Structure 1
Amino acid sequence: MLYRLLLGVLVAVVVSAIRPPSAATVTIKNNHPLIFYHGRWDSSPGTWWTGSGFKLNVENLQSLALNLGLHTTSPFAAIGVSINNAPFFTVNASAGITPIPLPPVSSAARGSTTLVRINVEGSVSNRINLESITLNANAVLHPYKPSKLVFQFIGDSFSSGYLLPMGVDQAWTFIVGERYGAEHRINAAPGAALTDVPSYGNVHGISYQYFKVEDTNYYYTTDHNYTTPWNFARDQPPATHVVIHIGANDSAQNVTASQFVQVYTDFLARIRKLYPHQPIFMLTPWGWPTSDGNVYYYYQGQYQEVLNARTTLGDKNIFLVDATGWVSYEDVFPDSLHPTVDGQVKIANEFTAWMENWGLSPNASINA
């Protein structure tokens, strides 16, 4: 009996000796103070609205995996990943463990920090439920220093990455933020009107939904088919510039011009309470271009009326951006008339040029 016991111990020791040790890792819980969350997250924590995500500044980074919970979009949510400000690439993230591919670490880079940026790409089906993050054993989190420039974009399908292969990461809103080295928050939803009316499957308009954690698709999520107020104190750092492009779906839902002006005016009054000193930029429509060379616009002259209503109240920090002529038929998908990838770049070019003329240059030292 003793012989058999000793033999068993010996076999166990030998097997243990020849089995390679498992790679050691470190688990970062979702409430770690050095995870820099951006966009809108609920308490699970889970993302809402396109472009929401987080940033990590990691020393000695060699491996990274996301551990995602059951509220993650099934079968997956497309996420954009950027390493050290390199171009974003797409990873399909599912509930469970999702490894994030990283570039090889050179010996010269060991001991340095790596900036990891992750966001949800989709304008819909864009929920990730972050439970924890797994890093290699000797990885160390450091604080992320956000940009001093923060763009808040508000809009509809034109601003959300609708139909683009990489979603919001190829939208003009995101491109502009990248050019300025800015933080960007994008609250935009395909099919949504500004007016609080049902529109293309959205049960509420942006004038209602902007003030909620959830985006306009909350109604279809069986685990979370309700809305909760968004605490704007969580938007840190606060927005420095507010950019709004909206109205196409109001027109499609037969909201009259006078109704639209009133809704937009009331919306801006609420926005101004949130952002009392920040400049607000209202884009006019770039319209619906057609193959015959015509461009059809909506609410012509009405955006000026909205501006007039604000300036009459003494608001001197609101500006009308005339987007007439920015988009032609060559810049849109023919079956939907929404801007293509190249069309989004063209819009970003036009808006950047307008902002430079206004006085904000991408070359400004904003991170000093």
Structure 2
Amino acid sequence: MFSKSVALFGLAVAAQIGCSSAVTILNSDPLIYYHGRWDTSPGTWWAGSGFKLNVQNLTSLTLNLGNHTTTPLASVGVSVNYQPFYTVNVSAGANPIPLTDLTFPNVTGNNAVVRFNVEGWQNNRINLLSIDLNDGAELLTYTPSKLAFQFIGDSLSAGQFLPMGVDQAWGFLTGEYFRAEHRINAQPGATLTDMYSYGNVHGMSYQFFETEDTGYYNTLDHNYTTPWDFTRDVPPATHVVIHIGANDVSQNVTAAAFTQTYLDFLTRLRTIYLDQPIFVFTPWGWPSASGAIGYYYPGVYQNVVDARHAIGDQNVFLVNTTGWVTWDDVYAANQHPNPAGHMKIAALFETYLINWGLWPQLNWSTPAPMPPKL
């Protein structure tokens, strides 16, 4: 995928040499649909943050990025007209973007939906200054999907070790399957408990409510946190999904302490997501070559769900992932799911959700031309 991306990028640069971009869109334009967590610069935090554009008569597009962009580069996933994402490496300055799917016939004169999101769980900051479009292009309204997933987790949800990062992670794939907006707040090494863990100075029970991800502490130009304004999540999350705990057990957090932290976290989440369904994943565990799987916190997740039910919150659901991941589904070096493993997890969760009663949207809310069937 990377080699293809590089080749396409080269073609795009060549095609745009000498082509003036007559339409400049400032980062404050209300027709830019931002998703994920952005600070005021504006700059991205957390894997999967980005923006979406709906453009009439689009033939060229350049991202102008500021100095808060990760150096020497940040990897960005790009999708045109809901086709598969491909990787473009960007840096501070002007970045022509290859719009490969605009080469399909009969697209000229129509709108194009272009989606961008940072792929990495680290080195993932882009600082958007402006966007240059070709002469004659017009920015239109992007209408977000009626479905919006909020995923909360650690490395097992952030896409760590995957070639395309979060774009190949099970949560992102699930959102694509349902034609939904997706927001992913997941950080490798992070506990749910608010404590230091593997370079993260805070746990997710604290950091989820902040704009910045848990790597903020070592960021020279922005080593502080700011509370996240959840009204900026438009639409509000319709479904909340949590898979976390592997790092808590690694840090010797007891089952009792983890249970209380999880319950306190859900209580605070309910101040934001008043009645949305919350899906609590059990661990799929750590597979081994022998076929054995090491599970952690047995019974705890069921207890958490039962405790919510006991106080009248029936909209919390247990997703039992026992047996979902085997040795063939993980990287041998670190036991994290490989690309095929993430696809398997996504498919199993999609089936779970359909059986639960959620069906994919028939179409994306912002229509766009599709390539001809071959």
In structure 2, which of residues 204, 207, 231 is the aligned counterpart of residue 206 of structure 1?
A: 204
In structure 1, which of residues 226, 230, 233 is the aligned counterpart of residue 231 of structure 2?
A: 233
- In structure 2, what is the equivalent of residue 153 of structure 1? 151
Cα RMSD between the aligned structures? Answer: 1.5
- In structure 2, what is the equivalent of residue 13 of structure 1? none
1: CA distance, partners of 2:168 / 2:79:
13
Are the equivalent residues in 2 in contact too, given 1:123–1:161 (CA < 8 A)? yes
- In structure 2, what is the equivalent of residue 50 of structure 1? 47
TM-aligned CA distance change 1:227 to 1:329, over 3 Å: same
Are the equivalent residues in 1 in contact too, given 2:35–2:50 (CA < 8 A)? yes
Are the equivalent residues in 2 in contact too, given 1:78–1:93 (CA < 8 A)? yes
TM-aligned CA distance change 1:223 to 1:353, over 3 Å: same
In structure 1, which of residues 119, 136, 139 is the aligned counterpart of residue 137 of structure 2?
A: 139
Q: In the TM superposition, what is the alpha-carbon distance from 1:170 to its structure 2 partner?
A: 0.2
1: CA distance, partners of 2:234 / 2:248:
31
Letter matched to residue 174 of structure 1: F
Does 2:34 align with 1:37? yes
1: CA distance, partners of 2:71 / 2:142:
30
Q: In the TM superposition, what is the alpha-carbon distance from 1:21 to its structure 2 partner?
A: 8.3
Letter matched to residue 114 of structure 2: V
Q: In the TM superposition, what is the alpha-carbon distance from 1:107 to its structure 2 partner?
A: 6.5
Q: What secondary structure, in the 3-state scheme, does the structure 1 residue paired with 2:157 have?
A: helix
1: CA distance, partners of 2:25 / 2:364:
30
Q: Name which of structure 1's ranges 127-136 and 108-117 shifts more when overlaid on structure 2.
A: 108-117
Q: What secondary structure, in the 3-state scheme, does the structure 1 residue paired with 2:337 have?
A: coil
Instruction: Output aligned runs, 1:173-192, within 5 Å.
Output: 173-192=171-190
- In structure 2, what is the equivalent of residue 91 of structure 1? 88
Are the equivalent residues in 1 in contact too, given 2:54–2:111 (CA < 8 A)? yes
TM-aligned CA distance change 1:294 to 1:61, over 3 Å: same
User: Looking at both structures, which has the greater relative contact order when contacts are Cα pairs under 8 Å and sequence separation is at least 6?
Assistant: 2
- In structure 1, what is the equivalent of residue 217 of structure 2? 219
- In structure 2, what is the equivalent of residue 119 of structure 1? 117
2: CA distance, partners of 1:36 / 1:362:
22
Q: In the TM superposition, what is the alpha-carbon distance from 1:24 to its structure 2 partner?
A: 4.7
Letter matched to residue 169 of structure 1: D
Are the equivalent residues in 2 in contact too, given 1:82–1:118 (CA < 8 A)? yes
2: CA distance, partners of 1:64 / 1:100:
6
Are the equivalent residues in 2 in contact too, given 1:240–1:279 (CA < 8 A)? yes
In structure 1, which of residues 57, 66, 75 is the aligned counterpart of residue 72 of structure 2?
A: 75
TM-aligned CA distance change 1:264 to 1:132, over 3 Å: same
2: CA distance, partners of 1:166 / 1:21:
31
In structure 1, which of residues 234, 240, 243 is the aligned counterpart of residue 241 of structure 2?
A: 243
1: CA distance, partners of 2:25 / 2:342:
36
- In structure 1, what is the equivalent of residue 256 of structure 2? 258
Identity of aligned residues (%): 61
Q: In the TM superposition, what is the alpha-carbon distance from 1:220 to its structure 2 partner?
A: 1.1
Give TM-score, length-normalised by structure 2: 0.91
Give runs of ≥4 in structure 1 deviating > 3 Å.
104-107, 363-368
Are the equivalent residues in 1 in contact too, given 2:77–2:119 (CA < 8 A)? yes
Q: Name which of structure 1's ranges 24-33 and 342-351 shifts more when overlaid on structure 2.
A: 24-33
Structure 2 regions of 5+ residues with no counterpart? 1-16, 367-374
Q: What secondary structure, in the 3-state scheme, does the structure 1 residue paired with 2:25 have?
A: strand
Letter matched to residue 134 of structure 1: D
TM-aligned CA distance change 1:366 to 1:22, over 3 Å: closer
Are the equivalent residues in 2 in contact too, given 1:154–1:244 (CA < 8 A)? yes
Q: What secondary structure, in the 3-state scheme, does the structure 1 residue paired with 2:270 have?
A: helix
Q: What secondary structure, in the 3-state scheme, does the structure 2 residue paired with 1:151 have?
A: strand
1: CA distance, partners of 2:269 / 2:143:
26
Q: Name which of structure 1's ranges 104-113 and 296-305 shifts more when overlaid on structure 2.
A: 104-113
Letter matched to residue 77 of structure 2: G
1: CA distance, partners of 2:65 / 2:193:
35
Q: In the TM superposition, what is the alpha-carbon distance from 1:350 to its structure 2 partner?
A: 0.9
Are the equivalent residues in 1 in contact too, given 2:282–2:301 (CA < 8 A)? yes
Give TM-score, length-normalised by structure 1: 0.92
- In structure 1, what is the equivalent of residue 11 of structure 2? none
Are the equivalent residues in 2 in contact too, given 1:149–1:366 (CA < 8 A)? no
Structure 1 regions of 5+ residues with no counterpart? 1-19
Larger Rg: 1
TM-aligned CA distance change 1:24 to 1:193, over 3 Å: closer
Are the equivalent residues in 2 in contact too, given 1:62–1:105 (CA < 8 A)? no
Instruction: Output aligned runs, 1:328-343, within 5 Å.
Output: 328-343=326-341
In structure 2, which of residues 16, 25, 49 is the aligned counterpart of residue 28 of structure 1?
A: 25
2: CA distance, partners of 1:24 / 1:253:
53
- In structure 2, what is the equivalent of residue 287 of structure 1? 285
Q: What secondary structure, in the 3-state scheme, does the structure 2 residue paired with 1:244 have?
A: strand
